[in-house]
Structure 1
Amino acid sequence: MTPNPAPTPADPAAWAAYLAEGNATQPRKRVAADVLLRDSSGRVLLVNPTYKPGWDLPGGMAEPNEPPEQTVVRELREELGLEVTVRGLLVVDWVPPHGPWDDHIAFVFDGGVLDIEPPRPHDDELSEARFVSLDEVGGLLRDRMRRRLAEAVHALREKRPVYLHDGHPIG
């Protein structure tokens, strides 16, 4: 007995079902999206999450089928009441499995310069937000985020996005 051949696009319903089955078995990646926002003094906006140690760039995890750049816009609106415009991509960072977490892809986008007072958190996920000089971030950020932020600042200066593995440039 010969196995049934895979459907073809000539049978659209069977083809769609075949592709959906393949899609359902593919691995899924979590996606994080953050934004680099600066003030006119060159300080960067950091947020202090209540659910993990250390400070972070503003942003968060993407919802299903949500583009990363829209994740940033949604998260900043929800958490800080800010309306931001994404000005370009700075970093893509593959983060390996760690602790209980599988790997994920982290994006950092350029949010430009905002001359505002630090916004107040709008939900319980953040305890504080403030602009911090690049010299001060070392004591606030965890190692991976500190490396990612340094690469984002470098990418902004060079006007060229960078791809990282766990905060380290490739090559």
Structure 2
Amino acid sequence: MLLDRPLFRRLFHLGALASRGMTLGVRGIALDPQGRVALVRHTYISGWHLPGGGVERGETAHDAMVREFREETGIVPEARLRLHGLYRNVAAAPRDHVALFVVSAFTQHRKGPDREIADCAFFPVDALPDGTTRGTRARLDEFRLGLPPDPNW
């Protein structure tokens, strides 16, 4: 896919920046009762990522994360999500920000692959699969080790 190539991904983010000024995205840490974390593989970019996406016009970051959990993983939170940190995503664009939420109580409906999500699976937080992105690993280390959030994704 074109967005898997750094130049095209950069152009995509610059287009978003030009049309929106500042972008806001969300990512979520969902831990099952065994302490495993939900990760997704997209169809348009390589690697395993925390579920998430963009905040739509008129939507709160919390509501966006609830929607993204449902769309990408089939996860339906049973309690309000907890904000873990707010990050600047310098890899995407200078004005891109990501709100990271945590949920530990949820139900999950079966979710198969679709045009956006190639795979969704749970992994032990201390044994992530090959291809897990640097940002995902860093956020999970912060969470697991109780480290303060780094200001940059």
State the TM-score, normalizing by the size of structure 2: 0.72
Alignment of 1:68-79 (within 5 A): 68-79=61-72
Q: How many residues align?
A: 133
Given that residues 29 and 50 in structure 2 are in contact (C-alpha distance below 8 angstroms), is that contact kept between their aligned partners in structure 1?
yes
- In the alignment, structure 1 segments of 5+ residues that lack a partner are 1-26
Once structures 1 and 2 are overlaid, which stretch shifts more, 64-73 or 75-84? 75-84
Check whether the contact 2:125–2:140 (CA below 8 A) recurs between aligned residues. Answer: no
Q: 1:105-124 maps to which residues of 2 (within 5 A)?
A: 105-114=97-106, 119-121=110-112, 123-124=114-115
Task: Determine the structure 2 residue equivalent to 1:53.
Answer: 46
Task: Name the Cα RMSD after superposition.
Answer: 2.5
Provide the C-alpha distance between the structure 2 equivalents of 1:55 and 1:142, rounded to a whole number of angstroms: 6
Task: Determine the C-alpha separation between the residues in 1 that align with 2:65 and 2:31.
Answer: 15
Percentage identity across paired residues of the two chains: 25
Give structure 1 regions of 4+ aligned residues with deviation exceeding 4 angstroms. Answer: 114-117
Q: How does 1:1-171 map to 2 (within 5 A)?
A: 28-84=21-77, 85-98=79-92, 101-114=93-106, 119-121=110-112, 123-137=114-128, 139-155=130-146, 162-167=148-153
If the length of structure 1 is used for normalisation, what is the TM-score?
Answer: 0.66
CA offsets, 1:117-137, max 9 Å, x none?
8x4246311111111012222
2:83–2:102 contact (8 Å) kept in structure 1:
yes
Secondary structure of the 1:83 match is: strand
Query: What CA distance in whole angstroms lies between the structure 2 residues aligned with 1:150 and 1:138?
Result: 14
Larger of the two Rg values belongs to structure = 1
Is the 1:37–1:111 contact (alpha carbons within 8 Å) kept by the matching residues of 2?
Answer: yes
Pick closer, same or farther for the CA change 1:71–1:154 going to 2, 3 Å. Answer: farther
